[in-house]
Chains A and B, each alone.
Chain A
Amino acid sequence: MAWFHKSKEAAPKSEAPKKEDIWTQCPACKAHIYKEEWDRNLKVCDRCHFHERLTWEERANLLMDEGTFVEICPKVSWNDPLKFSDSKGPYAEKAIENCAKTGMKESVAVGSGKIKGIKTSMAIMDFRFMGGSLASGTGEKILLGALYAIKHKQPYIIISASGGARMHEGIVSLMQMPKTCAALAQLREANLPYISIMTDPTTGGVSASFAMVGDIHIAEPRSLIGFAGRRVIEETIKQKLPDDFQTAEYLVEHGFVDMIVHRKDMREMLFKILKYAGCR
């Protein structure tokens, strides 16, 4: 499939196929699965329906008409307003490593493309970049995506994959919560649709800001979605939490997510909803 093709090319080639080139293991149920099958299933486990995290490119290829997604602000990058260092060293070093590892400058790719011909602005978070954490560059890009959608009268779709606000940018990270929501208020003012897609994980400051104020909330099966961490809650209330606590299914049950959509059906569902929203 086209969406997978790119990452396959990027992988280093070796002469004799190794075991890990043929087999992969589902991170959830530990089932051994043919890599070819795993990729054909869009990195979804056939047995337990676990949806593995995707890169932003894989998402763009999966959802957008081939070759239509173009980044609108690829130059916006991470910042170090606090000159932050922790026990493992400077944040700047860690950020530079993450850039090299992912080819990204921040934890989100923002652009515009077409879903079955409908022009759409889209922000795609990528968990590989510092756990998809929300920091100044992330917030700025998500805001620029909203402003682009307003300018070009397009719907806006944000795909979240984030552990929350990035501690390394401190209070500046926290302010990206109101900043992104303020941008979405502008989008609402322009009467444009906003679809929030929550993938594994959508927690902390991301769940408590742009991810939770969509016109429509869609989640991938079994994604972790919630505000506080499970361990923190268990320590606070001195109780064990149910296994399905903070899963996508649990959020549907409690009224915070409209629907759970399997990855293979996502593009079609987005198209249908955009049609109901009057997009052409």
Chain B
Amino acid sequence: MSLDFEKEVADVEAKIAEFKTQNPEPTGVLVKELNRLETERSDMLKKIYASLTPWQTVQVARHPERPLIRDFIQGICSEFIELHGDRLFGDDHGMIGGFAMIDDHRVMIIGQQKGKDLEEKIKCNFGQACPEGYRKALRLMKLAEKFNLPVITFIDTPGAFPGRDAEERGQAEAIARNLLEMSALKTPIIALVTGEGGSGGAIGIGVGDIVLMLSNAVYSVISPEGCASILWRDGTKADEAANALKITSKSILQLKIIDEIIPEPVGGAHRDYAGTMKATKKVLLKHITTLKKITPRKLSSRRFEKFAAMGRFK
């Protein structure tokens, strides 16, 4: 699937595909022509992705083929032992987690899963976790604390689920509890926004010693559509709202809310899973190694200072 601002790339890609069908084994001048087309394509992508507007970045962050937490686990972990349930109500498929191995580091991985096909999307509630999802996440974090495992959270959600059941079971309390407990957790936490960092649903697993974003991820207090419909009284002004809200990784790094941006391959993470995994793994390993050297008590007090400084001006 190509996005509307990638129209010209899609045209070249169609040309490349057609060329390949007609010339399964190109030689001589034909190889040159294929190379020319492919260079044209990658130049176009480079140009487009170097100057995405915030609203275009939202489209990339929400791309249906964007890698999800299960893709990251498969791409960077040699082992994953999934754990289920919050021990209170049920098992939320929109929030998954478990033990995992990254090189020789044992870690706890937690994050929202949006789902790929419709069936999985429905099962995962499109990555909108319910209170039991946040409580499962907390249960696994406490377990990680007990076992001295670093926690790595993968954030990708339009938001916590706005449903009747979710309210009845205390969506607000579940998120609030995580914020408090994560701030004091005595084990390293790395939070990575991979796609959509949707408001309270994102920060509910986002309190990290190190907070990272993939370059085309977004992180926001409200969706651009929601903000537009409230402050512009017009939901179609989402592009203006996206500009005003400063939701891109670059802006958020400038605001000192995140520590580092993980660069995505040319044309976005959805075009090159292997490249995305390689870049992500490298950055995660660097931080795991550093954080493991800090005592648990020091870690939690540093984490407090880090968040206490956010939004402190002058």
Contacts and interface: CB of A to CB of B under 8 A. Distances in A.
A81 interface: yes
A233 B164 contact: yes
A79 B161 CA distance: 30
A175 B307 contact: yes
B231 A167 contact: yes
A232 interface: yes
Nearest to A206: B172
Interface in A74-130: 79, 81-82, 84-88
A246 interface: yes
Interface string A61-85: 0000000000000000001011011
A82 B244 contact: yes
Interface on chain A toward B: helix, strand, loop, or mixed SS? helix
Interface stretch (B21-29, B100-108, B143-151, B218-226): B218-226
B231 A140 contact: no
Nearest to A165: B221
A175 to B, nearest CB: 4
A214 to B, nearest CB: 10
A229 to B, nearest CB: 8
A213 interface: yes
B71 to A, nearest CB: 26
A207 interface: yes
B255 A172 contact: yes
Contacts of A254: 168-170
Nearest to B258: A171
A143 B306 CA distance: 13
Contact of B307 (A179, A228, A239, A241): A179
Contact of A182 (B179, B222, B231): B179
Pick from A81, A88, A174 the residue with the most CB of B within 10 Å: A174
Interface in A156-195: 165-167, 169-179, 181-186, 188-189
B90 interface: no
Interface string B191-234: 00000000110011011000000000001111000010011111
Nearest to B245: A170
B255 to A, nearest CB: 6
Contacts of B232: 86-87
A44 B206 CA distance: 40
Interface string B2-44: 0000000000000000000000000000000000000000000
B247 A170 contact: yes
B311 A227 contact: no
Nearest to B159: A228
B166 interface: yes
A211 B164 CA distance: 20
A210 interface: yes
A211 B176 contact: yes
Contacts of A135: 311
A236 B173 CA distance: 21
Determine the interface band of chain A, counting residues with CB < 8 A from chain B: 35 or more
A207 B171 CA distance: 9
Contacts of A183: 304, 308
A124 B276 CA distance: 47
A185 B207 CA distance: 13
Given A178-B182, A182-B307, A212-B176, A171 B166 contact: no
B142 to A, nearest CB: 14
A175 B233 CA distance: 25
Contacts of A143: 308
B312 interface: yes
Contacts of B200: 165, 174, 177, 204-205, 208, 227
A208 B221 contact: no
Contacts of B166: 227-228
B163 A236 contact: yes
Contacts of B168: 254
A239 B164 CA distance: 9
B220 A170 contact: yes
A170 B221 contact: yes
A149 B268 CA distance: 48
Contacts of B246: 82, 170-171
A2 B304 CA distance: 40
Interface of A: 79, 81-82, 84-88, 135-137, 139-140, 143, 165-167, 169-179, 181-186, 188-189, 204-205, 207-213, 225-229, 232-233, 236-237, 239, 241, 245-246, 254-256
List the 8 closest pairs (A to B, CB-CB), nearest first: A136-B311, A228-B162, A182-B183, A181-B179, A207-B172, A212-B176, A86-B231, A227-B172
Interface of B: 160-164, 166-173, 175-177, 179-184, 199-200, 203-204, 206-207, 219-222, 227, 230-234, 237, 240-241, 244-247, 252, 255, 257, 303-304, 307-308, 310-313
